[in-house]
């Protein structure tokens, strides 16, 4: 995948830096781990520090000091997660800031404009993400609104590209791409319609949204398998917000090129470390004098240098370094899994890799 800030090898995983920083690690840690792209969050950056400030700083890359590829979500998912604190109308969404309760508004146009000021390499169209479970009628309403919003968002994105001076604020990344988002819940007929129409709008890449919102993994796999063939294979196919390591393997098998997920970082801060055999909870007393590394087969800094006993102690003591070391390990695990997947694909042995991965890895230790 080519971007104005460089190439990303796919299939790829983007660590999540919601507020312009991947929690508990530095950019140089991420570069050392081989991260080629990170994700930042339009909703959070819109509320603080605000797109105009970031625009005046020269864009998000310059503001946060990350000069590699960056993707911003559209804020849709976060806004819809606000529940009672938001109201949807045909034009957009009004909501109360989680920071100060102030009344805020996002529309397909403003989400495009904000991302133009942020200057991410990949901007996402503003979508409505249905919850789970959801009736087919409600899933249809939200899918159809997402399509109408996609057309408006795409028009605004193209207009701004042609006439940067039309934007109130700076366009900080002239080469920004915009991805559309396929919705439709777990209903294949809706996914069909959403995929067909979203593709016809002509985005630079395509995402599958509205999954990993509570449905069983098999349902998610089934919808991914059903949807990816309808997306052009010369464009990036991005599965938003997924998942556990075995999900990545299964969804690559179904055609996904790009992932993002908070699990490796959030779980690290909660003491869950990934190993080849599955996650372990480092806070458990059984690790108090376990002098092995978290994953004896892992080559990351944490595993080369520290024991389960020390990591357990740091976690129980509440030392910030616990979050850092756990996060380094989990991100390494995700990025290394993607490297192994890419290598297996190149070698023509992905099916064997996939089978062996599942023989070893189990979500329940």
Could you give the residue numbers annotated as active site? 73, 260
Applying CB under 8 A, among 124, 314, 338, 341 the residue interacting with a copy of itself is: 314
Applying CB under 8 A, among 232, 288, 352, 362 the residue interacting with a copy of itself is: 288
Cβ atoms of 112 and 158 closer than 8 Å: no
Print the binding letters for residues 61-80 with a copy of itself: x by CB under 8 A, - otherwise: --xxx---------------
Report the alpha-carbon distance of residue 287 to residue 292 in Å, rounded. 9
Cβ atoms of 60 and 103 closer than 8 Å: no
Q: Which of residues 7-66 bind a copy of itself (CB under 8 A)?
A: 19-28, 48-49, 53, 56-57, 63-65
Lookup result for tokens 């520090």: 49
Task: Work out how close the CB of 268 gets to a copy of itself at its nearest, in angstroms, rounded to a whole number.
Answer: 11
Cβ atoms of 30 and 23 closer than 8 Å: no
Applying CB under 8 A, among 83, 317, 346, 364 the residue interacting with a copy of itself is: 317
Nearer to a copy of itself, 215 or 290 (CB): 290
**Does residue 286 touch a copy of itself according to CB under 8 A?**
no
Nearer to a copy of itself, 197 or 295 (CB): 295
Cβ atoms of 239 and 256 closer than 8 Å: yes
Q: What is the DSSP letter of 286?
A: G
Residues with Cβ < 8 Å from 224, sequence gap 6 or more? 208, 211, 239, 251, 254, 255, 256
Task: Work out how close the CB of 295 gets to a copy of itself at its nearest, in angstroms, rounded to a whole number.
Answer: 16
Give the E-state strand segments of the chain in sequence order: 2-3, 6-7, 12-15, 38-41, 70-73, 86-88, 93-96, 103-106, 122-124, 177-182, 205-208, 236-239, 258-261, 272-275, 278-281
Task: Work out how close the CB of 16 gets to a copy of itself at its nearest, in angstroms, rounded to a whole number.
Answer: 13
**Does residue 325 touch a copy of itself according to CB under 8 A?**
yes
Nearer to a copy of itself, 132 or 313 (CB): 313
Q: How many residues bind a copy of itself (CB under 8 A)?
A: 37
- Residue ranges binding a copy of itself (CB under 8 A): 19-28, 48-49, 53, 56-57, 63-65, 288-289, 291, 301, 305-307, 309-310, 313-314, 316-317, 319-321, 323-325
């Amino acid at each position: 995948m080519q971007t104005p800030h460089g190439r990303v090898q796919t299939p790829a995983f983007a660590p999540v830096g919601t507020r312009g920083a991947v929690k508990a690690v530095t950019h140089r840690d991420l570069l050392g781990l081989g991260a080629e792209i990170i994700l930042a969050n339009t909703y959070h950056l819109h509320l603080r520090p605000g797109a105009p400030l970031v625009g005046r700083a020269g864009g998000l890359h310059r503001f946060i000091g990350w000069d590699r590829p960056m993707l911003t979500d559209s804020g849709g998912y976060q806004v819809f997660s606000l529940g009672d604190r938001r109201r949807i109308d045909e034009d957009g969404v009004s909501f109360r800031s989680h920071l100060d309760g102030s009344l805020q508004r996002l529309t397909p146009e403003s989400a495009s404009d904000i991302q133009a000021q942020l200057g991410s390499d990949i901007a996402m169209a503003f979508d409505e993400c249905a919850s789970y479970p959801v009736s087919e009628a409600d899933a249809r309403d939200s899918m159809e609104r997402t399509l109408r919003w996609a057309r408006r968002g795409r028009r605004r994105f193209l207009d701004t590209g042609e006439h940067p001076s039309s934007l109130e604020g700076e366009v900080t990344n002239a080469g920004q791409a915009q991805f559309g988002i396929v919705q439709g819940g777990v209903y294949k007929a809706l996914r069909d319609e959403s995929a067909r129409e979203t593709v016809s709008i002509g985005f630079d890449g395509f995402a599958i949204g509205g999954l990993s919102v509570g449905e069983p993994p098999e349902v998610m796999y089934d919808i991914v398998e059903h949807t990816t063939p309808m997306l052009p294979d010369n464009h990036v196919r991005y599965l938003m917000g997924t998942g556990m390591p075995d999900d990545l393997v299964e969804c690559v098998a179904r055609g996904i090129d790009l992932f993002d997920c908070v699990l490796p970082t959030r779980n690290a801060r909660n003491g869950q470390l990934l190993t080849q055999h599955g996650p372990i909870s480092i806070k458990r007393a059984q690790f108090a004098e376990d002098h092995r590394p978290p994953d004896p087969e892992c080559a990351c800094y944490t595993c080369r240098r520290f024991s389960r006993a020390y990591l357990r102690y740091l976690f129980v003591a509440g030392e910030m370094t616990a979050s850092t070391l756990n996060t380094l390990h989990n991100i390494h695990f995700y990025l290394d899994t993607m490297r192994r997947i890419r290598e297996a694909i190149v070698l023509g042995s992905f099916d064997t890799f996939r089978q062996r991965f599942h023989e070893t890895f189990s979500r329940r230790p």
